[in-house]
Amino acid sequence: MEPPERPEPETGPDAGPGDAARPPVGAPGGAGAGHGPPSWAAAEDGTETGADADEVSGEPESAETWQLPSLSTGSWVVVSLAVAAVAVGVVFHLAMVFLHVAPSNTASKEYRSTVDTYVYPEFEQNWKLFAPDPLQQNIHVQARAQVRGPDGRLETTEWVDLTAIDLTGIQHTVAPSHTRQNELRRAWSFYTSAHGDNNTPSGVRGHLSQEYVQRIVESRFGPKLNGGDVVRVQARSATTSVAPPAWSDAKPSTGTQYQETLWWPVATPGQENAS
């Protein structure tokens, strides 16, 4: 079936100026030049074609519908349990840290032992940085050992700066070890607070603090050193005052102050301790 012919443009006296300027269908420059019927023309079956058909459908023909990957029931159960476990762990951690740093209250007193067991030593919070008078000293913990060689002679090593070794391990590190940052500092602070003059321990805490520092030193040196057996160890602190700013009138003490512990025998099975 051929499409109906469009009437020829009127050229008589009754034709308007716009009718004479409209080119005929199929003429060069016309709406349907070289492309058959114009875009407004309907197809023979009554459906719209071209750009109008895309507008009616509501989406381009090349569009693809994205769907979530389907998971089995068992997989959903595993994912749900994992998310729930992580959420419970986060809530528990925040609750323990909150009770640790919060002012003393009924809950913190009731669960003090549980909170301390969880927080120390990895998650301890120290707010001295924000105190009105923060620490103004650099304290380095050093240690040395007595080594019994194969010939039975005792040799005393030089002082080893354990704090400097830890600082070297955390400098320029994106996620430095919490142990390297705080183990020695907290152990020595515990030791000094639990000992009086002449390294006299103050009750049970004094003995515990001594064992704590001694175990750290022994683990750093190891059972053997310089070809011999480590039989005794000793620790000390080297305290140096931080230089005050230029606008301050403070006059800190100069030089380095040392505080030494006694010699501690290393108990090794089958090994005689130094007398």
List, for residues 251-269, the tens digit of each pLDDT value: 777 789 999 999 999 986 5
SS3 content of the chain, % helix, strand, coil (to 5): 40, 15, 45
Q: Looking at residue 116, what is its pLDDT?
A: 87
Q: Looking at residue 252, what is its pLDDT?
A: 74
Mean pLDDT of 35-64: 51
C-alpha pair distances (Å), 20 with each of 15, 27, 32, 85: 7, 14, 17, 81
List, for residues 77-125, the tens digit of each pLDDT value: 999 999 999 999 999 999 998 888 888 888 888 888 888 888 887 777 7
The strand pairing partners of 241, in sequence order, are 137
Mean pLDDT of 45-72: 57
Q: SS3 of 213, please?
A: helix
Instruction: Look at residue 250 and tell me whether its pLDDT is greater than 50.
Output: yes
Instruction: Look at residue 229 and tell me whether its pLDDT is greater than 90.
Output: yes
List, for residues 64-88, the tens digit of each pLDDT value: 666 656 778 888 899 999 999 999 9
Helix axes 203-221, 178-193, angle to 10 degrees: 140
Query: In 100-153, where do the E strands start and end?
Result: 137-148
Q: Which pTM was predicted?
A: 0.53
Average pLDDT, the chain: 78
Of residues 244 and 95, the one with the higher pLDDT is: 95
Q: Looking at residue 36, what is its pLDDT?
A: 52
Distance CA 111, CA 99 (A): 9
Peptide bond into 150 cis (omega under 30): no
Of the candidates 261, 18, 12, 13, the one whose C-alpha atom is nearest the C-alpha of residue 145 is: 261
Instruction: Supply 23's token pair.
Output: 């080119």
Q: What is the DSSP letter of 205?
A: H
Q: Looking at residue 246, what is its pLDDT?
A: 80
List, for residues 153-178, the tens digit of each pLDDT value: 999 999 999 999 999 988 888 888 88
CA angle 218, 222, 227 (to 5 degrees): 130
- Confidence band, pLDDT 50/70/90 cuts, at residue 275: very low
The strand pairing partners of 137, in sequence order, are 241
Mean pLDDT of 25-52: 49
Instruction: Look at residue 23 and tell me whether its pLDDT is greater than 80.
Output: no
- φ, ψ for residue 84 (rounded to 5)? -65, -40
Q: Looking at residue 42, what is its pLDDT?
A: 47
Type of residue found at 151: D
Q: Looking at residue 3, what is its pLDDT?
A: 56
- φ, ψ for residue 274 (rounded to 5)? -70, 140
Distance CA 59, CA 66 (A): 14
Instruction: Look at residue 57 and tell me whether its pLDDT is greater than 70.
Output: no
- Confidence band, pLDDT 50/70/90 cuts, at residue 179: confident
Distance CA 259, CA 270 (A): 32
